[in-house]
Amino acid sequence: MNKVSAAITAVGSYVPDHVLTNKMLESMVDTNDEWITTRTGIKERRILKDPDKGTSFLGIQAAKNLIEKNNINPEEIDLVIFSTATPDMPVASTAAFTASSIGATNAFSFDLQAACSSFLYGMSTAASYIESGRYKKILLIGADKMSSIIDYTDRATCIIFGDGAGAVLFEPNEEGLGLQDEYLRSDGIGRNFLKIDAGGSLLPANEETVANRQHFVHQDGKSVFKFAVSNMADVSAKIMERNNLTDEDVNWLVAHQANKRIIDATANRMGVPEEKVLMNIQRYGNTTSATLPLLLSDFESKLKKGDNLVFAAFGGGFTWGSIYLKWAYNS
């Protein structure tokens, strides 16, 4: 019997209609289009404006897109993993609500939080469940309503983040396609550089924390950038070395869309030319858990069966890593 690997067999996505451009941000904070573009590569981002809709709405739409596009029976899904840094609410699982909403009535489900590395860690988790042989269809969703935790008077963060969702289906594969290798890391030193101060068990919400705007994302941009550039490039180079991949062997770099300069640094370290680097940061900004699946969805038609994809991500915590995956189908 051939070794079972975990392959991505379907993708879906959703972004809200409302577009927040750099020009619009100029009227909100002290910034300008040229400054944002040269430093981040971002031109616009999508915002979920409806105050009655949370991250689950985004994830449900992406999952429905995947299900409808591929004629999948949601009752056959065994597990739903919802990667997100912005769950609908504490305690009550966003994944459970999402699974029920899409008709995945036979699935169990859970949320996975590793900041901007959530989807990458989710890929590892989903693949492990498939490789165990106990589960055949796993829906992995990456979604974030970042606008719910962004202070739109803070130019360090409000120019970067957007809302969006993507989803992939993992299934067993006996052709040697799918997830080949992973190298995942974390380091608690990052706790002070990228965080939301209040709302957790360490500093529960009170009148003071709200008045002090401590429920929004705060980041030390320079430190985060420095760590991200070195670490994301390091693990991507390491996964290539470990699997004897040359720059010619790599068909596509699928990198977390946080900053164009970080993506470029990773590509340079790998020796991968620009035409092999998937990029949509200019359209969506940093959608946190949704960046990787949104890339797969936007560029699905370019991906060919057998293509070598290197995924890379870096997030708060710090969390980071790289995954080597062989693409399993032609769309």
Catalytic positions, written as ranges: 116, 256, 286
**What separation in angstroms does the CA of 102 have from each of 60, 67, 94, 98, 140?**
7, 9, 12, 6, 13
Nearest to 168 by CA among 135, 197, 143: 143
Distances (CA, A) of 255 to 123, 191, 310, 311, 328: 14, 22, 8, 6, 19
Q: Which two tokens stand for residue 235?
A: 């693990």
- Cross-strand partners of 253: 277, 310
Torsion angle, alpha carbons of 46, 94, 70, 322, to 10: 70
Q: Centre a 10 Å sphere on the Cβ of residue 278 and count the other Cβ atoms it contains.
A: 20
d(CA 201, CA 91): 12
Instruction: Give me the count of residues in the chain.
Output: 331
Rounded CA gap, 48 and 57, in Å? 9
Q: Is the dihedral of CA 187, 179, 15, 263 positive or negative?
A: positive
Quick one: which of 79, 63, 179, 73 has its CA closest to 134?
A: 79
Please give the C-alpha separations between residue 72 and each of 65, 137, 164, 262, in angstroms, as whole numbers: 10, 10, 22, 36
Q: Which of 301, 311, 268, 287 is nearest to 145 (CA)?
A: 287
